[in-house]
């Protein structure tokens, strides 16, 4: 009896040691993801329904993904800073927010450079994301993939924008982004940088007359509630980079990195599809909500394109036109 009890105790101790060692080997990881948009935005839906779900399932629970929408962890700029200094693991940001890190990346926001969203996808997938990751190494940031926000459009409380003259003197909120400010100055508007968290109130109180964002942002952040007109200018195509701390990424086990990479590739297509469906639906929703929506003819758009030539000249003077020509050659 004593011998049997002793054997049982030894067996329990052995199992405990093995389980303890296995637990140590299968260390758990947490990825906190910051996002300034609402839960109804396509990027958050993608994070919740695809990215988080698949990573947690495919790593057997070893990786936990925590989502923080509605700017709970601060603005895009604060999230980027957090990733760069190692206090945050991941974020989904507007691509324009990365421009201040390296001036060469302003190519992504040159007005009207992407003729179609398919051309933009091809450029980012084939060479732009890889190129930008070289620039971001100094900031300890890695783009897992370039998602989509879509083309930016102008909303305002004064008049439909059909031609550049309609922007003359219009107080338009822009991002705190020199390229955006210069673009709207060239178009005749009065660009006024305002933090996104303050934008709704600024429009409501008349601090600014207008703003510009992708349709998904205009609707899910309810900016249309304080605007009368939406003009589908499509002046800048905006990405939604899924960015992660490079140091954090490199310290993950190889099998987890491989799993996340595979999920990220699948998520890229999923996210772009969700955004496209939302943008199509939301354009109709704006009209139903009483917002006047107007499109631009090719000739109308060309008038805007012509006025934006100086921002291209400035970029080419600093960095040459090789990358611009590479993008323009995509059909």
Residue 120 belongs to domain with CATH number:
3.40.190.170
**Chain segment 236-267, per-residue pLDDT in tens:** 999 999 999 999 999 999 999 999 999 999 99
Answer yes or no: is 16 within a domain: no
Q: Of 185, 182, 192, which is closest to residue 164 (Cα–Cα)?
A: 185
Q: Is residue 282 predicted with pLDDT exceeding 70?
A: yes
Answer yes or no: is 92 within a domain: yes
Q: How many domains are there within the chain?
A: 1
- The pLDDT assigned to 16 comes to 45
Between CA 39 and CA 47 the distance in angstroms is 10
Q: Of 303, 296, 324, which is closest to residue 187 (Cα–Cα)?
A: 303
* pLDDT band, residue 13 (cuts 50/70/90): very low
pLDDT more than 70, % of the chain: 92
Give the up-direction half-sphere exposure of residue 78: CA atoms within 13 A in the CB hemisphere: 11
Compute the mean pLDDT over every residue in the chain, rounded to the nearest whole number. 92
163 compared with 176, residue with greater pLDDT: 163
pLDDT more than 90, % of the chain: 89
**Contact assessment for residue 45 and residue 53, using Cβ atoms and an 8 Å cutoff:** no
234: left (phi over 0), alpha (psi -120 to 50) or beta: left
**Residue in the structure block whose two tokens are 């003197």:** 169
Answer yes or no: is 39 within a domain: yes
Answer yes or no: is 19 within a domain: no
Answer yes or no: is 20 within a domain: no
Q: Which letter does DSSP use for residue 112 in this model?
A: T
**Residue in the structure block whose two tokens are 């589908």:** 232
302 compared with 27, residue with greater pLDDT: 302
Between CA 18 and CA 23 the distance in angstroms is 9
What are the C-alpha distances in Å from 54 to residues 65, 272, 276? 10, 17, 22
- Mean pLDDT, residues 147-176: 96
Answer yes or no: is 21 within a domain: no
Q: Is residue 329 predicted with pLDDT exceeding 80?
A: yes
H or E stretch including 238?
strand 237-245
What are the C-alpha distances in Å from 101 to residues 111, 140, 180? 19, 11, 15
- Mean pLDDT, residues 117-131: 97
Q: Is residue 298 predicted with pLDDT exceeding 70?
A: yes
**Contact assessment for residue 200 and residue 226, using Cβ atoms and an 8 Å cutoff:** yes
Between CA 20 and CA 52 the distance in angstroms is 27
- The pLDDT assigned to 197 comes to 87
- The pLDDT assigned to 255 comes to 97
Buried b / exposed e over 76-115, threshold 16 CB at 10 Å, is: bbbbbebbbeeebbbbbbbbbbbbebeebbbbbbbbbbbe
Q: Is residue 44 predicted with pLDDT exceeding 80?
A: yes
Angle at which helices 298-307 and 309-319 cross, to 10°? 50
What are the C-alpha distances in Å from 136 to residues 76, 127, 143, 186, 243? 16, 15, 8, 29, 10
Answer yes or no: is 5 within a domain: no
* pLDDT band, residue 174 (cuts 50/70/90): very high
Domain of residue 126 covers: 28-328
- Mean pLDDT, residues 181-192: 96
Answer yes or no: is 17 within a domain: no
* pLDDT band, residue 5 (cuts 50/70/90): very low
Q: Report residue 196 CA to chain centroid gap.
A: 14
- The pLDDT assigned to 6 comes to 53
**Contact assessment for residue 186 and residue 257, using Cβ atoms and an 8 Å cutoff:** no
- Mean pLDDT, residues 51-77: 96
Q: Is residue 7 predicted with pLDDT exceeding 70?
A: no
Q: Is residue 14 predicted with pLDDT exceeding 50?
A: no
**Chain segment 198-249, per-residue pLDDT in tens:** 999 999 999 999 999 999 999 999 999 999 999 999 999 999 999 999 999 9
């Amino acid at each position: 009896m004593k011998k049997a009890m002793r054997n049982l105790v030894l067996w329990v101790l052995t199992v405990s040691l093995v389980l303890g060692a296995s637990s140590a080997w299968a260390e758990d990881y947490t990825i906190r993801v910051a996002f300034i948009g609402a839960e109804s935005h396509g990027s958050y839906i993608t994070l919740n329904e695809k990215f988080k779900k698949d990573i947690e399932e495919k790593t057997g629970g070893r990786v936990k993904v925590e989502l923080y929408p509605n700017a709970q962890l601060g603005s895009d700029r604060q999230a980027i800073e957090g990733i760069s200094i190692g206090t945050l693991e991941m974020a989904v940001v507007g691509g324009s927010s990365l421009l201040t890190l390296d001036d060469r990346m302003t190519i992504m926001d040159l007005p009207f450079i992407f003729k179609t969203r398919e051309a933009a996808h091809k450029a980012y997938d084939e060479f732009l994301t890889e190129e930008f990751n070289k620039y971001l190494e100094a900031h300890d940031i890695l783009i897992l993939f370039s998602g989509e926000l879509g083309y930016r459009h102008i909303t305002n409380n004064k008049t439909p924008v059909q031609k550049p003259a309609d922007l003359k003197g219009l107080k338009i909120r822009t991002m705190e982004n020199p390229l955006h400010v210069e673009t709207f100055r060239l178009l005749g508007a009065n660009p006024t940088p305002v933090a996104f968290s303050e934008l709704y109130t600024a429009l409501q109180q008349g601090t600014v007359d207008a703003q510009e964002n992708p349709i998904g942002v205009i609707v899910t952040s309810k900016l249309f509630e304080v605007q009368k007109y939406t003009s589908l200018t499509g002046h800048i195509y905006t990405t939604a980079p899924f960015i992660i701390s490079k140091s954090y990424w490199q310290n993950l086990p190889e099998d987890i990195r491989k799993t996340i990479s595979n999920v990220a590739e699948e998520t890229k297509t999923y996210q772009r599809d969700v955004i496209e469906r939302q943008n199509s639906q939301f354009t109709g929703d704006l009209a139903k909500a009483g917002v006047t929506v107007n499109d631009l003819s090719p000739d109308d758009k060309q008038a805007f394109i012509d006025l934006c030539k100086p921002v291209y000249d400035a970029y080419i003077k600093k960095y040459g036109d090789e990358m611009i020509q590479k993008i323009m050659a995509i059909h």
